[in-house]
Structure 1
Amino acid sequence: MEPNTGESSAFLGFIRLAMTLPQTTAEAVKGKYACWKASQFLIKDRRPLGWRESSAHSIRDQLERLLSDRSRVGDGMFGKDERTPLLPEDRHIVEQIRESVLEANRSNITRTKAYYDCYREYPELHWSFLAHMVSRNAGWNMTDLKGGLLSDVVTDPLREDMYQMLERSNALIFLDAYPQLLLYIHSRKLGRSLFHLLPEFRVSAFMRPFWERFWIERDSALLAVGLIINEQNYIEGRVIRNSYFQKNILDSPVFALHGRFQMNQVIFPMLVEPQATVQNSAAHQQEPSSLADEPAAETDGSDEACSSGCRGMVGLILEHFSNLEERIGFGKALYAILFGYKDVLAGVQSFAAETEHRGSRQEYWPKLFTSNKKAALNSAQESQELLKSEWLPQDKRLYSPTLNEVWQDMPYEPVTRYDWFKSKKAIDQVARPKRPILIEMTHAHRYAIQKTALTHDAERAVTKTAEKVH
C-alpha cells in the first residue's frame, strides 16, 4: 500500500501543477500589458547618446587599415612592433596596474565594485557603469545555482560547470577591460595619453583607435560600443567556443530550457521613482555622477511594481547566448537603455549607490527573496506560493544566498596571447546604439521566476515518485 500512497501523492502534485498553468498564462498576458504601459512612461524623457558619426567613420577607416596591415605582414608578426622598450615611469605604471588588476580580480564581488569605483571617479566612462550592472547580474546568476529554485533542478556537476563558465567569463572580461580603464585614469592624472601601453596588457589592436579618439573627444558612446564589441569577441574564443563548455553547458537541456523559457535576463533595478526624476530633469543633463547622490524614494508595501525600496526594473532578454552577433547587439541595447533614458539612468544610479553588491537577489526584491536559509521557503509547491500573492510572507521567501556563502574565490590560469581582431565583421558593428522601446522588466522577471518555480516543483514531484517506486 505504501508505494501506491506515494504514487498517488506525486500524481496529485502533478495535478496541482497543471491547475496552476492557466493562472500562470494569465499572469504572463497581464504582465506584457503592464510592461508596455510602464515602458511608455519610462521612455518619455530621452538623454542624448552623444554619438559622433564622423568619429565613428574615422575609427572604421583606421580599423580597415589595421586589417590591411595584418593581411600584409601576417598574423605572426602583427602587433609585435607595438611593444617598444618602456621608460622607467611607464614601467612603474604598468606594474601598478598589474597589481591592481590582480587584487580586484579575486571574485565577482571585487570586480563589480572596481567597475563602479572607476565610474564614480570618472563618469564619462559609461561602459564601466554598464559593466558594473551586468556584473551584478552575473553574481546573481552564480548564486542562483545554489539558491532555493535551481538547487533541486541542476545536478552537482552541471552546477559546478555553469559556475565555472560564469566566473571565467566575468574574470576574463575584467582581466582585459580593467587595465584599459586604469590606463585612462592614470592618463587623466598625469595629463598625457598612456594608450601606447595597451599592448603590455595584451589588449587587442582593435581598441587603440577607440581610446585615442576618446582621449581627444570624450565620446562615451563610441568608446562603450568599442568595448562591447571587444569584450564579447574576447570571450568568444576563450569561453563560448571552448569545447568543454560547449559539450557540458551550452548543449545541455537545462541551458536550452533557460533560452526557451526566456530566463536569460539582464535586469537593472531602479530606486528613484520616475515622477521625482522628471521634476529634476535639469540635473540629468549633467554627467551621471551627480545622480548617485540623490536619495532613494520611499515606498510602501502596496507598490505593485516592486518591493520595499525598489521601484521596478528595466532590462532585456537574451535569446541565444551562444551567438556572438546577438550578444554584441544585446550589449549595445543595454547601453542605450541605461544611458538613453533619463528616468532609467536616475533610478539605476540610485540603486547602485544605495545597494552593496553581495550576490543575493534579496538586494532588489526583499519581499520575494531572503539570504537567510533557515527562514526561507522549502516546499514542493513553491510555484503555488508565488501565485497566491504578489509578494511572499516573511517565512516563505525564496532562498537567494550571498556569493561568499556558497562559492569560493577561484584562481584563473594565465591567458594566452592572441588578438581576436581578424575579421571585418567587427568593423561593421561599430554603429550607433538604438534605444529599445519595451524595456520594463518587472513582470517579465517575476514570470521567469514563476516558470523556474514550476520546473522546480515538477522536478520535486518526479524525484518523489522515483523514491517511492524504489
Structure 2
Amino acid sequence: MRDDWLRSWMRLLGTVPRMTGEALKGKYAGWKASKRLRHPLREIPWNSRSAEAALADAERMFSMNGRSMRAPVTNMLQSEEDRELVELIHNETTRSNRSNITRTAAYLECYNRFPELHWALLAHLVSRNGGYNMTDLKGGLMEDLMTGQQREWMYRLLERCNALIFQDAYPQLLLYTHSRRLGRSCFHLLPFFHVSAFMVPFWDRFWTLRDSPLLTVALIINEQHYIEERVIRNPYFQKHVTRCASFRVHDWLHLNQIVFPLGQDSGLAGLIIEHFTNLNERIGFGKSLYALLFGYEQVLTQAHSFAQNVPHKGSRSEYWPQLFTPDIKKALHSPYESAALNNKERLPSNSKLYSPTLEQVWSDTPYEPIPRYDWFQGMLNPSYLSKPRRPFLFEMTHEHRFGIRKTAAGHDAEILLQ
C-alpha cells in the first residue's frame, strides 16, 4: 500500500516540470492566437464631453436632493399606463431572477432584440462564467479542495452577486425595451425600481444619442458599486468567504478567469482579474472585458454565435466537450487527473472531467431582502468614466487549460493526503 502511495506521489510530482514548460508554451501560443484575433478592429466611439456632462448632471441632482432622495411609492404614479408598466417590469424581473440560468437567458434576449444594448451581451457572457464557477464547486476537481460548508458559502457569494446585479440592471434594460415599444422615454420611472440617481442622466442621453459605449461604462460602474457594500464588504461574506484561505486558493488556481467561448472547438478569449474584492480593479476589468468583446470583430462575432447556438446550463462541457462531461458516470474518478491532462489534449469519452449542469447540483436559492439605498453620494472617481481600452493579450485557451491543470494537481494531492 505504501509503495502505491509513493508511486502516486512521484507521478504527481513528475507532472510539475511539464506543467511549467506547458505554461511557457501556452503564453507564446496565446500571444500568436491573440494576434490573429485582433483584426479587424471595431470602433469604440467615446464622447468625453458627453460623459462629463452626464456626471455633472448626476452630481447636480444629488446636490439638489441630497440624502433626502427616496424612491417614490407606486401610488404616486401619474398614469394608469405607468402603474401597469411598473408592475409588469417588477413581475418580469422576479420571474427571470429565479436562477443563474434564467438570468443569463434574459440578458441574451435583451441583446438580440436591441443590439445597441452592449451591456446585455457582456452581462450574458459574464453570467455564463458565474454559472460555471457555481458548478465547479461540485465538479470533479474542486469538490475535494473545499469542505461542504465552504462550497456553500462560496456559492452564496456567487449567487448573491449574480442575483443583485440582475435585480438592479434588468429593470433598466426593460424600461428601454418598453420605451422603444411605446415610442417615448420611460426613464422617469427609474426611481420606482430603486435605481441609483447616477444612472438617470446616462439613460436620458442614451435615449436620444444611442451612445452604447458610454451607457455600458456607466452600467459597469453602477453595478460594481451596487454590490460593493451589499456583498463584497458585507461582514457575513468577509468572514466566511473573501477573507478565507479557500478564496485565495481560487486566485492562485486562476479560477478568477472570465472566458468568452469562441465556439465549441474554436478557443477562448478572456482575461484574469487579480483582486476581485477591489472595486477599482473590478471596474477596470469590466471595461477591459467590454473593449475585448466589442473592440474586436472576430471575438464579438464568434462569442455571440456561441451564445446563440449553445444554451447555457452551467457545465463547462458546453464550450470544452473534449475535456468535460456533465455525466458523472462517464467522468474520471482517480487521483491522476493532472497526469491525464498532461498526457492528452482530449480525454476519452468515459474518462473526462466532471462538470455538472447547474440544476444537477444546486437548487434555486431565495435571497434576503435587498438593502435599499443609493450608493452614489455626489462624487465619483473621474478615471472611471474614461474610454475602454482593448486588451492586447486575451486569447485564453492555453491559460485556461493551465488553470485546470493546477486545479487537477491540487485535487490529486488532496486525495493522496487523505
TM (norm. structure 1) is 0.86
Structure 2: segments with no counterpart, 5+ residues:
none
Equivalent residue, structure 2, for 1:92: 84
Rate the CA distance shift 1:220–1:375 in 2: closer, same or farther, 3 A.
same
Equivalent residue, structure 1, for 2:69: 78
- Inter-partner Cα distance in structure 1 for 2:19 and 2:363: 36
Equivalent residue, structure 1, for 2:52: 57
Question: CA deviation digits over 1:131-156, x for unaligned, max 9?
Answer: 00000000001000010000111100
Q: Does 1:445 align with 2:416?
A: no
SS at match of 1:425: coil
* Alpha carbons 2:37, 2:296 under 8 Å: kept: yes
Q: Tell me by how many angstroms 1:79 deviates.
A: 4.5
Equivalent pairs: percent with the same residue? 54
- Inter-partner Cα distance in structure 2 for 1:80 and 1:269: 40
Amino acid at match of 1:93: L
Q: Does 1:245 align with 2:237?
A: yes
Equivalent residue, structure 2, for 1:48: 43
Equivalent residue, structure 1, for 2:173: 181
Equivalent residue, structure 2, for 1:322: 277
Paired positions, count: 417
Amino acid at match of 2:329: K
Q: Does 1:390 align with 2:345?
A: yes
- Inter-partner Cα distance in structure 2 for 1:264 and 1:423: 32
Q: Tell me by how many angstroms 1:430 deviates.
A: 1.1
- Inter-partner Cα distance in structure 1 for 2:133 and 2:40: 31
Equivalent residue, structure 1, for 2:160: 168
Amino acid at match of 2:69: F
Equivalent residue, structure 1, for 2:186: 194
Rate the CA distance shift 1:113–1:426 in 2: closer, same or farther, 3 A.
farther
Equivalent residue, structure 2, for 1:215: 207
The CA RMSD measured in Å over matched residues stands at 1.4
* Alpha carbons 1:79, 1:205 under 8 Å: kept: no
Q: Does 1:255 align with 2:250?
A: no
Structure 1: segments with no counterpart, 5+ residues:
272-308, 464-470
- Residue 337 of structure 1: which of 284, 292, 297 is its match? 292
Equivalent residue, structure 1, for 2:360: 405
Rate the CA distance shift 1:438–1:87 in 2: closer, same or farther, 3 A.
same
Q: Which moved more, 1:9-18 or 1:123-132?
A: 9-18
- Inter-partner Cα distance in structure 1 for 2:403 and 2:34: 18
Equivalent residue, structure 2, for 1:277: none
SS at match of 2:241: helix
Equivalent residue, structure 2, for 1:304: none
- Inter-partner Cα distance in structure 2 for 1:255 and 1:99: 35
- Inter-partner Cα distance in structure 2 for 1:375 and 1:259: 29
- Inter-partner Cα distance in structure 1 for 2:27 and 2:330: 32
Amino acid at match of 1:360: S
* Alpha carbons 2:55, 2:198 under 8 Å: kept: no
Q: Tell me by how many angstroms 1:357 deviates.
A: 0.4
* Alpha carbons 2:257, 2:272 under 8 Å: kept: yes
* Alpha carbons 1:313, 1:440 under 8 Å: kept: yes
- Residue 151 of structure 2: which of 143, 159, 163 is its match? 159
SS at match of 1:383: helix
- Inter-partner Cα distance in structure 2 for 1:143 and 1:417: 30
Q: Does 1:107 align with 2:99?
A: yes
Question: CA deviation digits over 1:307-327, x for unaligned, max 9?
Answer: xx3211100001001001100
Q: Tell me by how many angstroms 1:263 deviates.
A: 2.5
Equivalent residue, structure 1, for 2:22: 27
Rate the CA distance shift 1:431–1:79 in 2: closer, same or farther, 3 A.
farther
* Alpha carbons 1:229, 1:426 under 8 Å: kept: no
Equivalent residue, structure 2, for 1:147: 139
* Alpha carbons 2:257, 2:273 under 8 Å: kept: yes
Q: Which moved more, 1:51-60 or 1:382-391?
A: 51-60
Runs (4+) off by over 6 Å: none
- Residue 112 of structure 2: which of 77, 98, 120 is its match? 120
Equivalent residue, structure 2, for 1:68: 63
Rate the CA distance shift 1:60–1:29 in 2: closer, same or farther, 3 A.
same
SS at match of 2:82: helix
Q: Tell me by how many angstroms 1:390 deviates.
A: 1.0
Rate the CA distance shift 1:11–1:423 in 2: closer, same or farther, 3 A.
farther
- Inter-partner Cα distance in structure 1 for 2:125 and 2:240: 27
